Every structure is written in structure tokens, then in C-alpha cells.
Amino acid sequence: MLLNLSIIDLAVVKSLDLDLETGMSVLTGETGAGKSILLTALGLALGDRADSGYVRPDCKRAEVNLEFDLADAPIAQQWLKDNELDNEQHCLIRRIVNQDGRSKAYINNRPVTLQYLQELSEKLVEIHGQHAHLTLLNPDEQRRLLDAYAKNQALLDQVNHCYKHWLSAHKELSELIKAGIDQSEREEFLRYQLEELQALNLASFNYAALSEEHSKLANFGQILTTGRAQVELLYESDQQSVNQMLSHSAAELKHIARYAPELNDICALLSEAQILTEEAALQLRRFLESQEADPQQLEHLENQIGVIQNLSRKHHVAPDQLIEVVNKLTTELDNISHSGERIASLTTETLALEQEYQQLSAQLTEQRQLAAQKLQNHISVMIKELGMPQGEFLIAMTTLDATTPKLNGKDKIEFLVSANPGLPAKPLAKVASGGELSRISLAIQVTTANDKTTPTLIFDEVDSGIGGGVAEIVGQKLRSLSQYRQVMCVTHLPQVAAQAHHHLYVEKNNKSDITSSQVRLLQNEERVEEIARMLGGVTMTANTLAHAQEMLSLGVKQP
């Protein structure tokens, strides 16, 4: 159960530290006092989307803290252990929202993602909003409520797991069958492309080396002409070669080195340069003598490079990426060659999954039918108590005969109601007024809540559109729920508030420049005055106070 709610600088709440008890607690106050901000704080701490507008003006951040006792929440305890976030019997949840709208979440003082926070919250608190009757018109919500009442979640998970596997296998099988129509043509085309590429001798394929050899042969004449000219210039010229000039310079400097010994090192360098020049000239000459024009090889290279470039353009890749193209085409060809085996395997798999799905969905249908009968009877009784004496609630189930698996089973579920005797039951949206829809919604929520394991239930003005004796019954129903779990209810009805074990009052403080809201626990006399206010408005008479006292006395006598 929820032990404590702490709020700091959230909207109209500057600071709040609220201890909560077991049983039924109601939250009341004047319109605009700030009742909704408490639910906003709870929703934020439980994983709702953060917004910078939540931060109180002139404050850096807003913070909400929740403390839970997990003695009545074994599923939440197990989840915390599984995720290594457990802390014995208690659980602390903290959510911080900064001015820029970014937020942080913590479970037992350890940072967690919003997804983790939402997963845990589902196991601790369930909030029934004041617009729940509108979502009740959605067919998916009707199916969800029936499955929740029937405790079908484990079986439903099996059905949907089987469906998803079948869908994946069926999709792949369909694609293979469709591709098989053009399979022979595609296979022939792939083989032709591979033969073209494999003619390049890809095992030793090196486009860079081919290009280098081609460039050398194509410029053979220039290599010989320039090379011979440089051999002549460096060494063989009779007039003035580099070798002769270096020899002359070295001799001249050696002559004067007798007078300037510092020049000996320079003479040595010139002698070394002369030797290196001679060696370079000799190597260049040997290289030129070894070269031989090969017009046939040049023509072969030009043809091969031409083929490579044509194939590169054809496959829209660079020449050195042709090997990757071959690998890709080989894989596709291999897949086509083995597609017959895969089709046979997938056909067997989809048939087996269809059979498994049919068995599971049949079990789901049976459980839904049993639960639907019980649920419609319970809700019919309850809506009669809630001011619809002639009302009948029915759950229509239509099971589709189609063999194709579907998500959430093969059943079409629809909630029907007949408000008056003799009239056929029709869908909720067509026959129920706003007030009737609110009562039906409340009846469903109260009935299905009895079978839930969530330790804390919060009802946000789910009694709107209800009054008089019906409101008193609503209060009694909510109080009866609190025998087994903690119930919190935001209400504007004195009949409901009088049934609570604990009464929290929200009031607005306008003493400072920035409005703030406060929450306090009302004691006996204060409860009488608040119930009287809810009954008679601002002016409280002796009659309204007496009536309020009587309502509270009757509420205390309830179990």
C-alpha cells in the first residue's frame, strides 16, 4: 500500500508530506483547490510524461516521492528482486522534473528508465480516471476488461506469442512463394551475371596492379626516352655530365683544402655524391636494358580493364568492389536454389502454429464465455443498485470461424445494455446516456477491481453524474473494496465522502504572491463541517450539520 506522498514545488503545491492509511480515503475540497494536482503528482511519480509546466514558478525543479509497503504486493516484490532493485519490505519511488522539462526517475535511490518505472507502477497502483466511461466504448477496452476479470493474461500471452510466430513464418512463406513465380528467370539471370564476373579470375583479382601494369606499358616509349637522356646526363656525356662536374669540384676543393682543412668534410661529401651518382646511372641503365615493349600484353590489359569498367558501371560499384558483388549474387543464387526446401519447412511450421493457435484460442474462448456470464450477472445486479432498476447488462461474444490467426484471439466482444424492459439490448454507445454510462462504468470498475492484485486503487471523480441514494450506494461499494486493499477517491459527493475511513481536505492558500494548495487530514468535527459544506454550500445550518453528522454515523457502521 501507499504509505506516504511527498511533493516539493509541483504546480500549486509548494511542499506537502502526506501520510496515508489502509482502508478508504477520500479527497475533497472546493472547486479549483488543487485536488487534481495530487493525482497529477501520483501519475508523474508512476511514469507519466513530464513537462516543464509542472515546476512551480521561480523554482528550479519539482519533486515527487512515494513510499510503499510491499507486504500486500508480492508481484511487485518479485519484480524488484528480478531487476535487482529490492529493498526488503519497502519501496521508494522518486521523480524529479527540471525547468527544461527533462526528468529523472529513481527506485530505491537507484536511477531507472521511465519504462522500468511504468512496469513497477502497474504492480502497485491502478488509477481509474473520471473519463473511464468514455474509454469503455472502445471494443479493445471491453475485451481487456473481460480478460482481466477472467484472469486470462497468461493464456492471452500464449495466444499472442503463437500468433506473432505464425505471422512471421507466414510472411516469409508468402514472400518466398511470390518470389518463386519468377524464380527460374531470376536464377538464369544470376548465373549469367556470375559467369561474366568469374571470367575475371577473381581469385587473383587486383585492379590496382592491373592499372599499374597497363600504365607502364602504355608509357613505355616515354620511359625509354627519358631514362636514356638521364643516363647520358648523369654519367655518359662526353661534354659535361653530373659525374664529371662532381669530380672536378671535388678536385678543386681538395687543392685548396691544404690551406683550409675545414673543407675536407665537404670534399668527402662530394666524393660520396659522385659514387652515388655513378651507381644511380648504372642502375637506371640496367633497368632500361631489361625493359621490352609488349604490344600484345598491352592490348590484353586494355581489353581486361575495359571489361572490368563495363561490369563496374553495370553493377554500379567501384572496380575493386566487384568481389563483393560476386558474393552477394552467389548468396542470392544459393537461397533460390534452396528456397524449395525452405518453403516446405515453413509450410510445415505455419500449419503447426495454426493448430497450436486454434487450440489456445479455443481455450481462451471457453474461459471468456464462462467469465462473461458471471461478469454480466454481477454488473446487472450492481447497475440496478446504482439507479437503473430495469437495467440489464450483457456481454455478446462472437467467435470467428476463420482459420487465420488473429491478435488477442478470435472473439469479438461487445458490451450491451438494455435500460428498459422489453427493449432489446444494444451497444453502450447507442443506448446509454452520460449518467447511465458513468454508472455502468463504475459498476464494471468496482466489480473487476475485486479480482485484481493491485494493492492501491485510486478513483478520480468516477461518481460524476450520480447523486442521491445512488451516491450512497457508490460510497458503500468503494468502502467494501477497501476491505482488501487501499482505496483513494477524489469526490464531490457527500454521500461518498461520508463512507470513507479517512478524509483528506484540499484547500488553497492565497496569502502569498504565488497561490499554493495544502492537504490535511480532517478530524471528527472538521469532517462534519466539510460534509455539511458539500451538502449545503457556504452557509451551514443546524440541519445540514445534523444531516452531515448522521451520514458520518451511518458510514462508520459500515464494515
> Is residue 33 within 8 Å of 519, Cβ to Cβ?
no
Spell out the per-residue pLDDT of the chain, length 559, in tens: 999 999 999 888 888 898 999 999 999 988 777 777 788 889 899 988 888 888 988 889 999 999 999 988 888 999 999 999 987 778 999 999 998 889 999 999 999 999 999 999 988 988 877 666 667 788 888 898 899 889 999 999 999 999 999 999 999 888 877 766 666 667 777 788 888 787 777 656 677 777 887 787 778 888 888 888 888 888 887 778 888 888 888 888 888 888 888 888 998 998 899 899 889 989 988 888 888 877 887 777 778 777 778 878 888 888 878 878 888 888 877 777 667 778 888 999 999 999 999 999 999 999 999 999 999 999 999 888 887 888 889 999 998 877 789 999 999 999 998 877 777 888 887 765 666 777 787 788 777 776 667 889 888 877 776 777 788 888 888 888 888 889 998 888 899 999 999 999 988 876 665 667 788 899 988 999 899 988 876 677 888 888 888 888 876 656 6
> Is residue 67 within 8 Å of 91, Cβ to Cβ?
yes
One-character DSSP codes across 460-503: ESTTTT--HHHHHHHHHHHHHHTTTSEEEEE-S-HHHHTT-SEE
> Is residue 480 within 8 Å of 462, Cβ to Cβ?
no
For the sheet containing 103-107, what is the strand order? 13-19, 2-10, 61-69, 90-98, 103-107, 110-112
For the sheet containing 411-418, what is the strand order? 392-399, 411-418, 426-427
- The H or E element spanning position 64 is strand 61-69
pTM for the predicted model, two decimal places: 0.62
> Is residue 233 within 8 Å of 241, Cβ to Cβ?
yes
Dihedral of the alpha carbons of 193, 195, 201, 207, in degrees to the nearest 10: -20
One-character DSSP codes across 147-171: HHHHT-HHHHHHHHHHHHHHHHHHH
Q: For position 106, what pLDDT does the model report?
A: 94
The tally of CA atoms less than 13 A away on the side-chain side of residue 249 is 17
* CA-closest candidate to residue 463, choices 76, 22, 26: 26
Read off φ and ψ for residue 387, nearest 5 degrees.
90, 15
Which residues touch 148 (CB under 8 Å, ≥6 apart)? 448, 451, 452
Read off φ and ψ for residue 104, nearest 5 degrees.
-130, 145
Q: For position 7, what pLDDT does the model report?
A: 92
For the chain, helix, strand, coil in percent to 5 are: 60, 15, 25
> Is residue 261 within 8 Å of 174, Cβ to Cβ?
no
In 99-251, beta strands by DSSP E: 103-107, 110-112, 125-128
Would you state the cell numbers that stand for residue 394, as one nine-digit string? 450483457
* CA-closest candidate to residue 96, choices 64, 69, 125, 120: 64
Read off φ and ψ for residue 46, nearest 5 degrees.
-95, 5
